[in-house]
Chains A and B, each alone.
Chain A
Amino acid sequence: MLWLIPALPLAAVLLNLLVGGRLGRKGVGWLACGAVGLAFLVALRAVLRLAALPEAQRTVTDTVYTWMRVGDFSADVSFLLDPLSAVMALVVTGVGFLIHVYSTGYMAHDASYRRFFLYLNLFMFAMLTLVMADNFLLMFVGWEGVGLCSYLLIGFWYTRPSAAEAGKKAFIVNRIGDVGFILGMLILFAWGGSLNYARLFAVAPHVFAVGSTVITTATLLLFLGATGKSAQLPLYTWLPDAMEGPTPVSALIHAATMVTAGVYMVARTHVLFQLAPVSLQTVAWIGAATAVFAASIGLAQNDIKRVLAYSTVSQLGYMFMACGVGAFTAGIFHLMTHAFFKALLFLGAGSVIHALSDEQDLRRMGGLAPRLPWTHATMLVATLAIAGIPPFAGFFSKDEILSSAFASGNTAVWILGLAGVVMTAFYMFRLYILAFRGQPRLSHEAEHHLHESPPSMIVPLAVLAALSVLGGLVGPPMQEGGHAFARWLAPVFAGGEHAAAAHHAVPMAVEWGLIALSVVVALAGIGLAFRVYLQDPGAATRLRERLSGLHRTLLHKYWVDELYDATAVRFVHGTARSFWRFWDTKVVDGAVNGVGYVFEGFSAVLRLFQTGFVGTYALFFTLGVAALFLHLLRH
């Protein structure tokens, strides 16, 4: 029955296509939410059944049919439920359902209501295929499917040129990563002989020597795919622009689910990554660098969604950092808690934007707390969660990542992570204070229309807030034999978590110290934000003036977009143009037109013979016969 989980949203897509026009707005909303809600219930039932099985047998596969079979190669449309994909499926359907419900309120006044839910359901189908596939090929189908939906939804308001551009950018940047994914997949097939996870991972230790060039190349190529999809250095630039899409899309696709696909893929293929220490080190360093880099850009952005976008990039960096130091459980743990609190942050930001009649600039907000009490309360919870304050969800997962990094001996990575924590706490509370506290700086019109969001938007916020508070409690630190979440994932990562083993080798006192340190660091960031933005109104301006160079750099995002435009984009455009000018218009068009001219010339001559007079034809006929006769008579 596993196939039912992705099939339900797909069925909703088809129904919406066929009869959506007759259902009306209400019907379309119910159909879309109902399908995803049902998928969540089916997934929940499947996971409960999985949990009832003995630990060693917790992998269920459901083969729908054999997709293709060529020689030794075969690919099935086959779904896999093991503890890892169970977590992913529950997060995707659960958070997805809440965001669907929220969207019925947020998009209520949009002209293309039906198209929105069509894309959203299609996304759910693709994402569930991605996380539940039992082989690389089917995963790739989902991988491309979510990319397509991301493109469609970023460019949802396609009449706005910036939205159309952002959609294109996301699609093209992702293509670069996908080339890596395909090449990595081909290498794995060429050497490993299969694309099925179970079979490939079983033979991998025998086929690939630890640290051999082949496995290092393959995993680095797979990781290139992950950097594209999960917006890591150097391919992160599409994610901030993706904020052009409707806010629920930013929450669902560009925060909670799709962008975590790269982390999921690295965790899924941890068997391969562990055979390639160089790749793991790369993952850790890219993750740590991205975490700090994106967080620093987030410090100076003024668009509420852009701050959150850079924060997402940064948090994804933490997940990769965890995977890179071998703490895959911590990475997936952070993936889950991040899905809760980041979806909440985006939905809360959406609620603010909705309330202010589409105002996104933090400089024209302020003092919203008493006017939007529910949005304010839930946003505060999410902000505390992402800043890493106990006992909110983000604290547990982030702390586990940091202590794993410390325990694995990657001290430099750990320090980068700690620096990221300060910045995260600072920019998140900067956002919170600028939006909700201090004096209102609203435009007159926005002030006039200011209203709290409808219940269809507030209820999902409240549920996500509860999850952001309680979600971390499945993984408290310092449990004998690992916490509940780690024990749940243990069958997947069994034998692989050398870092986790080392983690428990760290003495109790050191671990307490690490926890205290990360909390103190986060509190310092929060305190600084309150000091600069709330207590001393002039401080922000003074700080900006004193560090004007740095501020400009951050505000312009290190000019990375400009750099890419000047190098890669210009280069590709130039090459394409010269190809067009020379090869296309001269060579290809020349050849095609040339053939045409030749035949036109021939036919101009041949046409002279076709007079239409029977007599002429008879004459040629006679001459021909006479010529034949002469020829025969001569021999």
Chain B
Amino acid sequence: MIPISWSLALSAVLFVIGVIGVLVRRNALVIFMSIELMLNAANLAFVAFSRDMQSLDGQVFVFFVMTVAAAEVAVGLAIIVNMFRLRETVFVDEINLLKG
């Protein structure tokens, strides 16, 4: 059996990859995918703990997270599509109307 620390380590690595992806990538779609990566890192941690503690609560949470993620993707993609229609770009550094 794989010890929990391995699973958690993998989860942490995935999360950090997601964070770095959000911070350094310019394409909104890739940023979006990185966010999904972070969510799934969290899911992995939930499942790992659930197995370790012999409790189903973590599994239930994962379902919630996946549902929310699906909804978020729907909204987020709609925003990105609209953004592309308006500005003909999905690069976030070209969208800086809020600059003070």
Q: Chain A interface (Cβ within 8 Å of chain B)?
A: 606-607, 610-615, 618-619, 622
Contacts and interface: CB of A to CB of B under 8 A. Distances in A.
A610 B22 CA distance: 18
Contacts of A612: 96-100
B23 A610 contact: no
A611 B92 contact: no
A612 B31 CA distance: 17
Interface in B36-92: 92
Given A615-B23, A622-B19, A622-B22, 5 more contacts: A612-B100, A613-B92, A615-B92, A618-B22, A622-B23
4 A-B pairs closest in CB distance = A612-B99, A612-B96, A610-B100, A614-B92
Contact of A610 (B19, B24, B31, B99): B99
A72 B34 CA distance: 75
B49 to A, nearest CB: 18
A611 B23 contact: no
Contacts, number: 31
Interface residues of B, number: 14
Contacts of A618: 22-23
Interface in B8-26: 19, 22-24, 26
Contacts of A607: 100
A618 to B, nearest CB: 5
Contacts of B96: 611-613
Contacts of A610: 98-100
A606 B97 CA distance: 17
A436 B19 CA distance: 107
A615 B98 contact: no
Nearest to A607: B100
Contacts of B92: 613-615
B95 interface: yes
A613 B96 CA distance: 6
Nearest to A623: B23
A81 B8 CA distance: 99
A612 B100 CA distance: 7
B51 to A, nearest CB: 24
A433 to B, nearest CB: 85
Given A622-B19, A622-B23, A615 B93 contact: yes
A25 B24 CA distance: 82
Nearest to B95: A614
Residue with the greatest number of chain B CB neighbours at <10 A, chosen from A606, A611, A615: A615
B66 to A, nearest CB: 22
Nearest to B97: A612
Contacts of A619: 23
B83 to A, nearest CB: 11
A615 B24 contact: yes
A615 B99 contact: no
B71 to A, nearest CB: 21
A606 B100 CA distance: 9
A615 B100 CA distance: 15
B84 to A, nearest CB: 15
Contacts of B23: 615, 618-619, 622
A330 B31 CA distance: 101
A619 B25 CA distance: 12
13 contacts: A606-B100, A607-B100, A610-B98, A610-B99, A611-B96, A612-B97, A612-B98, A612-B99, A613-B92, A614-B95, A615-B92, A618-B22, A622-B22
B100 A613 contact: no
A614 B92 CA distance: 6
Nearest to B22: A618
Contacts of A614: 31, 92-93, 95
Nearest to B28: A614
A601 to B, nearest CB: 15
B93 A613 contact: yes
B36 to A, nearest CB: 15
A623 to B, nearest CB: 10
Contacts of A606: 100
